Amino acid sequence: EDGIRDVERSRGLGDVYKRQVLGLSGKVGDKVLWKTTWAFALPAYLNSGASGAAVNVGLNVAEAYGEWKILDQVGLCVGRMLVPTALANIGIPSVKANHMLNPPLIITGGFNGALPPLPTFQTGVAIDVNYSGITANYMLYNGELVGPTWLAGGNDAAQDVDKSKGGNIAIGYSGEVGPGKLTARAFYFQEKSDLPGPENQVYTLPGTTITITMDDDSSISGWGIGVAYNADNYYGAIEYVNITTDPEDPNTDTTNSYGYYILAGGKFSSFDVGLRYDFIDWTDADAAKDYDTEYWVTLAVNYLINDNATLGINYVYKQPEEPDGADYPNIDEIAVYMELDLL
C-alpha cells in the first residue's frame, strides 16, 4: 500500500522502538508498473535471544523495481523486490498482516537460535504468471549466503557483503472461497556461494598441521508450504518451512532446520483477538542437541481504532529448551504497540 506506516512498540520495561515506512507506486503507460519502499530503521523483533538484538537505524531501500506487463497474465520484473517464499515472510512486519506484533519464529528466530534466513528483499529478475488466481513466479537474485555458513542477521546484515547467487520458484493461489479469501503457496529456493579465494587454508599449530577446506560452492536450500484463510469475522493460517545448509566442507556437517506455526483468530466488533503457536528446530547439529528446539505461544488483542490505526497488546509465552545447568527466568514478554497507516 502506498503511504507512510509508523510503528511504535514497547518491549519489556521501558524499551521503545519506532519504525517509519514510506511506500510509493505507479504506472508508466499501460504496460509498466513501478514500486519503491523505503524504511527508516529496520525491524526490531520481540526476541530476548539470538535474532532480534540490534536495530539498524538509517534510511534503507527495501524495494525498488519495475514490472513490464508482457501480457495481461505475464510480467517481467527487474530490480530489488521481495522474493515470494513463506506467506509470513513479508519483509517489513505489519500488525495488519500478522495480527500480532511479531512475525512467526520461522522468520525471526527464537531465544536460543534461528533458522537460516529465508531470502527477503533481493536484487534480481523475475517472471511472474497469474491466471485465474493461480500464480507462478521464478526469480534469479543476489543471495544472502556468505562463505561456508549463512551470515547471522540475514539480508539486513548481508546486503553490503553479498557473495552468493540464488534462485526461487513459487507456485500459489489467491482467490475468494466461501465467505473469505484463501491464499496458498509452495516454494523452493537455493543459494550458492560465490566467495572467491583459495580452496584450502593451512594452519600450523605446535606439533601438527591442520588443513581446513574452504570450498566456494557452499549452499543453502529450502522449501515450504503454507495456507491462510481470511473472512470478515475470523481467520487462520498454517505454514511449514524446511532449510538445509551444506558447507561442502569435509570438516563441517550438513545441517537441517525446520519450523512451523498455527494461527487462529476472530474479529469481534472493533477487536481482533489472535492466538498463534510457533515451533522451531533450528539445527540438528549434535553440539546443540540439548537446546535446539523451542516453542512460543502468542496471545494478541488488537483494538481497531479505524482502518488506518491499530492499538494492541501481546503476551508471549516462551519455552526454549534449556542446556544442562541453565535456567532462563522471566523470558516471557508483554508488548504494547500502535501502528498507523497514513494513506
The pLDDT-based confidence of 9 (bands split at 50, 70, 90) is very low
Please determine, for residue 82, whether its predicted confidence score (pLDDT) is greater than 70.
Answer: yes
Place of cell 572467491: 196
Please determine, for residue 329, whether its predicted confidence score (pLDDT) is greater than 90.
Answer: no
Among the listed residues 41, 113, 101, 104, the one whose alpha carbon sits nearest the alpha carbon of residue 334? 101
The pLDDT-based confidence of 250 (bands split at 50, 70, 90) is low
What is the residue-averaged pLDDT of the chain? 79
Residue type, 120: T
The radius of gyration computed from the CA coordinates of the chain, to the nearest angstrom, equals: 21
Please state whether the predicted TM-score (pTM) of the whole model is above 0.85.
no
pLDDT value, residue 210 = 59
CB 100 within 8 Å of CB 298: yes
Please determine, for residue 47, whether its predicted confidence score (pLDDT) is greater than 50.
Answer: no
pLDDT in tens, 204-245: 556 666 555 554 567 789 999 999 999 999 999 999 999 998
CB 22 within 8 Å of CB 38: yes
* Mean pLDDT value of segment 333-339: 89
Report d(CA 323, CA 267) in Å as an integer: 40
Report d(CA 300, CA 334) in Å as an integer: 10
pLDDT in tens, 254-290: 889 999 999 999 999 999 999 999 999 988 888 788 8
Backbone angles phi, psi at 195, to 5 degrees: -80, 120
Q: Between β-strands 74-82 and 333-342, what pairing exists: parallel, antiparallel or unpaired?
A: unpaired
The pLDDT-based confidence of 305 (bands split at 50, 70, 90) is very high
Task: Give SS3 for 95.
Answer: helix
pLDDT in tens, 19-42: 677 888 999 998 999 999 887 654
